[in-house]
Chain A
Amino acid sequence: MSAIGLKFSLPRSRHVLPGFRLSLGFTLFYLTGIVLIPLLALVLRPFSLGLDGFWSAISTPRVLASLRLSFGMALVAAAIDSVFGIIIAWVLVRYRFPGKRILDAVIDLPFALPTAVAGIALSALYAPNGWIGAPLAHYGIRIAYTPLGVLVAMTFIGLPFTVRTVQPVLSELGQDVEEVAATLGATRLQTIWRVVLPMLLPALLTGAAMAFARGVGEYGSIIFIAGNIPMVSEIAPLLIVTKLEEFDYAGAAAIGVVMLVASFVMLLALNGLQSWAAKHR
């Protein structure tokens, strides 16, 4: 009994600073009220359908097609962002040229620009009469109002994630390993491909996972350019909105739960990735 009392009194006496109970109490209260209780409402809602009802709500062809589109295109967009993200990070960290700081600041534009603004701008740009859409239409390529439009918007929204996770790792990377590789007779390309890239891989994967997660959930920048044709270019978040407008709350919640579970899994994978990266630093 006394041992327990001692155990519990020790940490409290270590607190020289005041405000622990107040700050933690407020944090937990606010977190519970704003985030946890509403999320619980989402998770519990599909149970009103029963397990069978939940399955039939998310296994309709239209829902499956929208989930396939959101997840599939987000994966492709994350891959594109990874390739260009690493090139851009490399150019920004290793090269010196005028206007570099402006280029660096512009990378964060997708974070700062409201998604609806990005959405109508991308839509006007890639529409068959737009600056980019018109030349492409000449060759019979259509981007706006097709699944490719979804891809463009997701690539736009995800680019800062890959650049901003690779950039700090790259700038901290010592160049001594590259010198060693060169001394041992490696060409520059061999050095980059077999020495530098493997060291950037954990950061790149983290950035790609973040871009993927963002793409899956993205709404505002996509709906204007996608055309929103059911079964073709209708993303999962839009289908949630459609179901809500039809007052099918349980159906909307069922799709929401699938997306929530997916983002939980991504979050866990990211945490795992980061601790793996920290070990292999």
Chain B
Amino acid sequence: MSIFSNGRAGSRQRAFRNPTEDPLWLKLLLGAVAIAFITVLLLLPLVLVFKEALAQGIAAFWASITEPDALAAVRLSLTAAAIAVPLNTVFGIAAAWSVAKFDFPGKTFLVTLIDLPFSVSPVVSGLIYVLVFGMQGWFGPWLNDHNIHVLFALPGIVLATIFVTFPFVARELIPLMTDQGRDEEEAAATLGASGLGTFLRVTLPNIKWGLLYAVLLCNARALGEFGAVSVVSGHIRGQTNTMPLHVELLYNNYDYVGAFAVAALLAMLALVTLVLKSLLEWRFADELAAVHRH
């Protein structure tokens, strides 16, 4: 009797199992695989950065990030980002305004061109400016005659940074503003609002979170760019070394504590960026481009 009822209970359970629910063993297996892969591939390197940075105590860490060359690197990185990010933000808004609010032939092609820097290798991104401004490049001899330094100086670093962060703001705002349409702006314009007034009071409030999201990612990449800046910087310690380049220099000189200390600074920047990015995705998902809504 008891065996019979057990059997019935078992078969009933099977009959009512949610068909789109994975069996428990599969859940555990896939969950374990996912967590193990993320831990080993992504989390361990991050933990190691902080562990190595503090390997000889907090004093050694502090000394490494406050020595003059490290501070110069921090200053240079911040300067380059402070020029590149606002320029790309203005560009992104202009590009999104023209693409999302107007119709013109070649629009798709223009959007493809704007995305282009993302698919170019960072090293190639630096190389192109060497070919334009280098001594064997198009303008190199002329610049040299007039004593203007682009390569191995701040302008080259800024240009390379602009190139690698070029699409960030535009590719966030274009889908967002296209989704939002042009009705609200057209209503404002019909009611007599000026162009700037329409933008500031109608468009900007609609895109502010998406804009912040894009600027955040743009800034993180600008401060962290390595390959492109490496090619144009000239690696002059204390002068043209950005933070990532300073990490490389210290690491190649076997100053591991120093290298990982500056790396830890950059990793903290990455973590802050991730936290803010996730907050924006959870809190303002509807006001970001659709691809980030998950």
Inter-chain contact B41/A115, CB cutoff 8 Å: no
Interface residues on A, range: 35 or more
Asked if B6 is at the interface of the complex by the 8 Å CB criterion, the answer is no
A100 to chain B, nearest CB (A): 10
For the residues of B in contact with A, the DSSP-based class is helix
A57 to chain B, nearest CB (A): 14
For the residues of A in contact with B, the DSSP-based class is helix
C-beta contact mask, A206-220 vs B, less than 8 Å → 1, else 0? Answer: 000000010011111
A132 to chain B, nearest CB (A): 7
Known: A41-B131, A122-B45, A217-B124. A107 touches B22 (CB 8 A): no
**B282 to chain A: which residues have CB within 8 Å?**
101
B242-294 interface with A by 8 A CB criterion:
243-245, 247-248, 251, 256, 259-260, 263, 266-267, 270-271, 273-275, 277-278, 282, 291, 293-294
A81-133 interface with B by 8 A CB criterion:
84, 87-88, 90-95, 97, 101, 103-122, 124-125, 131-132
A55 to B280, CA, bound (A): 50
Interface centre among B34, B99, B124 (most CB of A within 10 A): B124
Known: A27-B94, A110-B42, A263-B119. A38 touches B263 (CB 8 A): no
C-beta contact mask, B118-140 vs A, less than 8 Å → 1, else 0? Answer: 01111110011111101011100
Asked if A34 is at the interface of the complex by the 8 Å CB criterion, the answer is yes
Asked if B69 is at the interface of the complex by the 8 Å CB criterion, the answer is no
A27 to B90, CA, bound (A): 9
Inter-chain contact A120/B260, CB cutoff 8 Å: yes
A247-271 interface with B by 8 A CB criterion:
247, 249, 252-253, 256, 259-260, 263-264, 266-267, 271
Inter-chain contact A91/B270, CB cutoff 8 Å: no
Smallest Cβ-Cβ distance to A253: which chain B residue: B131
Show the binding face of A for B, using Cβ within 8 Å. 11, 15-20, 22-24, 26-28, 30-31, 34-39, 41-42, 45, 84, 87-88, 90-95, 97, 101, 103-122, 124-125, 131-132, 155-156, 159, 167-168, 171, 175, 178-179, 182-183, 188-189, 191, 213, 216-220, 224, 237-238, 240-241, 244, 247, 249, 252-253, 256, 259-260, 263-264, 266-267, 271
Show the binding face of B for A, using Cβ within 8 Å. 19-20, 22-23, 26-27, 30-31, 33-35, 37-38, 40-46, 48-49, 52, 87, 90-91, 94-95, 97-99, 101-104, 110, 112-117, 119-124, 127-132, 134, 136-138, 159, 162-163, 166, 182, 185-186, 189-190, 194-195, 198-199, 217, 220, 223-227, 230-231, 243-245, 247-248, 251, 256, 259-260, 263, 266-267, 270-271, 273-275, 277-278, 282, 291, 293-294
